Structure 1
Amino acid sequence: MSEQFVLETRNLVKEFKGFVAVDDVNLKIHQGHIHALIGPNGAGKTTVFNLLTKFLSPTRGQILYQGEDITSLKSAAIARKGIVRSFQISAVFPHMTALENIRVALQTAEGTSFSFWKSGNSLHKLNQRCMELLDSVGLTEFANTTTVELAYGRKRALELATTLAMEPTMLLLDEPTQGMGSEDVDQVVELVRKAAEGRTVLMVEHNLSVVSKLCDRITVLAQGAVLTEGDYQTVSADPRVREVYMGSADSGERGGSSPAPQAEAAQ
């Protein structure tokens, strides 16, 4: 029954002028899980994310959230349901401070984005919540730093804080460690783990080391279709997964024991 899944897709298909980008995909995301969507370039990962958040409409199939068919809803309605997406490219305002970025997100969540006449007490209350969110991602000391001056890893942490300001029940993370060095990657792994407390997370991620540390379940896409699904041990040992990534079961990442997905270009 769909009630046991927070998010479910049924026979999801997306075609672009005859090209099948997503081919009969059935996802079942368990409540409270961190679930990864992985695959080589062109596998359809980003397209699936765009379908789930309604930046694209499916050609066929259904999307269910907490048992409700949300296939026909618009992206804003999806966000109001509690499904919030963090984009692959940082979506913060570069010339505002970290605190100001989060305040904008909080005002958006409250539906008061344009209430510039809000009282001082009201803004103070928002500022308190801003500081709590900054503290949750380790950015307290950068509250008044202009975002453009932040290191790349800290910008991604700020983006996560602005996403959490929307009070999501389900968090969709699109390549959260893209372009990061190992030190920043380790920091983001911990941030995602913390952000996942009390939430469900679906993430597109190219780094299998990150996936192995974080994810309860992994779905592998290849040529728009589900190739296999399971925990990390099961998926990383599957010769079909190695084949689609590397063309050889002998090639791998971090010791040669795992396939090495590459970041997928947006489709």
Structure 2
Amino acid sequence: MSPEFVLETRGLTKEFRGFTAVDSVDLRVQQGHIHALIGPNGAGKTTVFNLLTKFLPPSRGEILYQGKAITGLQPNEIARLGLVRSFQISAVFGHMSVLENVRVALQSKLGNSFRFWQSERTLERLDQRARQMLDEVGLLGFADTLAIELPYGRKRALELATTLALEPTVLLLDEPTQGMGAEDVEMVIGLVRRAAAGRTVLMVEHNLGVVSQLCDRITVLARGAILAEGDYASVSANPQVREAYLGSEAAVLEEAHP
């Protein structure tokens, strides 16, 4: 594998009782890029994410990270290597403060336990770093707010902060703008740009306007297989891609990149 590719799959396949959800996918993610997986509903995008992070075992194929095979590793081992995922649905501790959520994520770097039993004084040692991370995602002013009280867009920002606390080398984002209004979408675009500094981002995203603004390279999936790859201009002009999206979604391809 060329050292420029931080993450690679070879013939990655997932079958469910005769149905092929992911079909011989050869994915190559370049170091330092923001790389998008796009495609119509049911194309296999989230299944690929589940395979990469070992929430699903592949039926066949190989996954390589920084040139080493990781196909047989467990999800926690994948995360410790620096391949860290955020989920499509915001996952935070609603009845803990925003600061406490980030502090718990920082604790996971200390070992295998969240160490809820430790004294408040010991945990407060992590507060300075937690506040720095909240400042990076625009949440410092919400440090003492219960996570459940945050607006949806701010909850996604908190989730990103807790994900970054795990110090990822490759950050996998599953639908980071799902369900957001235009104002929150613009906020998240800025957050992803900042998160991408010094690391690689692989994202599944339905909002093609977001993809056109953020991504260096795009892989289009259809029926579990790679349909096209390239920058946004090339994939949006591809007749097969346009056919796969059809109707209103094809129009969005034009609007996102006139």
Place the TM-score, normalised by the shorter chain, in its bin.
over 0.9
Mapping of residues 44-123 of structure 1, within 5 Å: 44-111=44-111, 112-114=113-115, 116-118=117-119, 120=121, 122-123=122-123
Change (3 A) 1:67 1:254: closer
Partner of 2:145 in structure 1? 145
The residue that corresponds to 1:252 in the other structure is: 251
| CA-to-aligned-CA distance 1:175-208 (integer Å, 9 cap, x gap) | 0000000000000000000000000000000011
Query: Which runs of at least 4 in structure 1 moved beyond 3 Å after TM superposition?
Result: 254-259
Q: What residue number does 1:225 align with?
A: 225
**1:37 corresponds to 2:42:** no
1:189 aligns to what SS in structure 2? Answer: helix
Q: Bigger shift: 225-234 or 108-117?
A: 108-117
Shift of 1:118: 4.0
User: So what's the TM-score if we normalise by structure 2?
Assistant: 0.96
**1:26 matched to which residue of 2?**
26
Which consecutive unaligned segments of at least 5 residues does structure 1 have? 260-267
TM-superposed CA distance for 1:115, in Å, is: 5.0
* Conserved 8 A contact 2:208-2:253: no
- Shift of the 66–147 alpha-carbon distance from structure 1 to 2, 3 Å rule, reads same
Deviation per residue, 1:24-78 (Å, 9 max, x gap)? 1000000000000000010000000000000001000000000000000010100
**Greater shift after overlay, 110-119 or 36-45?**
110-119
Which residue matches 2:187? 187
Q: Deviations over 1:192-241 (max 9, x none)?
A: 00000000000000011000111000000000000000001001111111
Distance 2:161 2:248 in 1: 40
Q: Distance in 2 between matches of 1:60 and 1:227?
A: 20
1:13 offset after TM fit, Å? 0.5
Give the deviation of 1:258 after TM superposition: 5.7
| Counterpart secondary structure, 1:228 | strand
Contact 1:43 1:223 in 2 (8 A): yes
Query: Does the Cα contact within 8 Å between 1:34 and 1:200 map onto a contact in 2?
Result: yes
What letter is aligned with 1:114?
A: R
Q: State the one-letter code of the partner of 1:61.
A: G
Would you say the 8 A contact 1:12–1:62 is kept in 2? yes
How far did 1:242 drift? 1.1
Identify which range, 231-240 or 214-223, moves more after superposition: 231-240
Q: Secondary structure at the match of 1:155?
A: helix
- Tell me which residue corresponds to 1:265: none
User: Matched residues in 2 for 1:217 and 1:69: separation?
Assistant: 23
Q: Please state how far the C-alpha of 1:124 moved relative to its aligned partner.
A: 2.7
TM-score, scaled to structure 1: 0.92
1:165 equivalent in structure 2: 165
Question: Which residue does the alignment assign to 1:262?
Answer: none
Could you say what secondary structure the match of 2:180 adopts? coil
Q: Distance in 2 between matches of 1:244 and 1:119?
A: 54
Moved more, 224-233 or 106-115: 106-115
Distance 1:154 1:238 in 2: 36
List per-residue Cα deviations over 1:110-157 (Å, max 9, x = no partner).
22412522461x323200011001000000110000111101000000
- Alpha-carbon distance between aligned partners in 2 of 1:22 and 1:160, rounded to the nearest angstrom: 27
Deviates more, 1:101-110 or 1:156-165: 101-110
Q: Which residue of structure 2 aligns with residue 236 of structure 1?
A: 236
